[in-house]
Amino acid sequence: MEPILRVENITKRFGGLTAVNRVNLEVNPGEVVGLVGDNGAGKSTLIKMVSGVYHPSEGAIYFEGKPAVINTPSQARDMGIETIYQDLALAGNLTMSANIFLGRERKKKYLGGAVRILDEKFMLQEALKLLETLDVHLPAPSAKIEKLSGGQRQAVAIARALYWNARLMIMDEPTNNLGVIEQAKVLDLIRRLKEQHVPVILISHTMRDIFAVSDRIIVLHRGRKVADKRTSETSNEELVQYIMGARDDFEAARA
């Protein structure tokens, strides 16, 4: 099976600092890959190269088998790489459907296209159908985002990405600042994405979450990949050793 995303020997230097050092990474269809590491290990930098925020200093990215040049976040999104940051990039004063369709609103045309009115009904129905597939039911679908819970907001952000044909979802600390029940709901959302064969890269500090949903776990330490293991074949204790830098599976590759 061909991986959706393949990153080869990718390196990012900021002046004298090497934030990401020759990392290889593959994500297969329908796979949830957990990305862990201490603060400053290079997780965010690595992800930002895939989502078009940073340009790699060296190395190559292949998306769906083809070499990908990703210069801007919007290019990444056009290819189907959707990143959901902690702030979720939602406008709190707009409704759920207004957010899902923001920038790509559906309009009804009158007077030969001279007058174009927002098709609220269509957008709301599409949005509700989508949330249905994620098994999310909002008590008041036309409430503003700021009135929704953290988990519901996550669901809206994911739904938006899905609606616009996300082929790879990158989620940065999605369970941060959420209550226990909400955390479980977000993990459920990730399982739903997997069911729909949308691969996910999950960045998290919470090992319990990583173990709950991931198929494979990649550990970064000081910019280098030090472990790439099937979730079923590792343990919390072992991962902590990798994270602390006490173990390194790729020591031979070190230059």
Partner 1 sequence: MASQSRAEALSHPASRKPRSTQQQAILAASKVWSWIFLAALVAYFSWNGTGFFTLRNSQNILVALVPIILMGLGQTFVIISGGIDLSVGWVMGLASVMSAIVIRDQVNSGTNVEIAILMGFAVGIGCGLIAGLVSGTITAKLRVPPFIVTLGVSFVARGIGFLKAEGNVVGGQPVELRNLGNESLLYFVRGDEGGLYFLKKPDVIGAQLRLLDRVFTWPVVITFIIVLIGMFVLAKTQFGRHTYAIGGNKDASSRAGVPVDRHIILLYVLSAGTSALAGVLHTARFSGGAADAGDPIMMMSIAAVVIGGVSLFGGEGRVIGTVIGAMILAVLQTGLIMINVQTFYQYIVVGIIVIMAVLMDQARDIIIGRAEE
Interface residue with partner 1 among 15, 16, 66, 87 (CB under 8 A) is 87
**Whose Cβ is closer to partner 1: residue 45's or residue 83's?**
83
State which of residues 15, 16, 103, 112 lies at the interface with partner 1 (CB under 8 A).
103
- Position 214: which residue type? S
Q: Does 114 bind partner 1 (CB under 8 A)?
A: no
DSSP state of 42: S
From the CB of 179, what's the least distance to partner 1, in Å? 4
Question: Are the beta carbons of 146 and 60 closer than 8 angstroms?
Answer: no
Distances (CA, A) of 61 to 18, 95, 97, 155: 18, 36, 33, 28
- What's the min distance (Å) between Cβ of 183 and partner 1? 9
Pick one of 135, 146, 195, 249: the residue that binds partner 1 (CB under 8 A). 146
Write the burial class of residue 180 (CB in 10 Å: 0-12 exposed, 13-18 middle, 19+ buried). Answer: exposed
Q: Hey, is 255 helix, strand or coil?
A: coil
Where helices occur in 83-179 by DSSP H, the ranges are 96-100, 120-133, 150-163
Q: Which of 55, 67, 92, 125 is close enough to bind partner 1 by CB under 8 A? A: 92
Contact call for residue 208 and partner 1 (CB under 8 A): no
Q: Does 111 bind partner 1 (CB under 8 A)?
A: no
Residues that bind partner 1 (CB under 8 A): 73-74, 87-94, 98-99, 102-105, 107, 116-118, 139, 146-152, 160, 179-182, 185
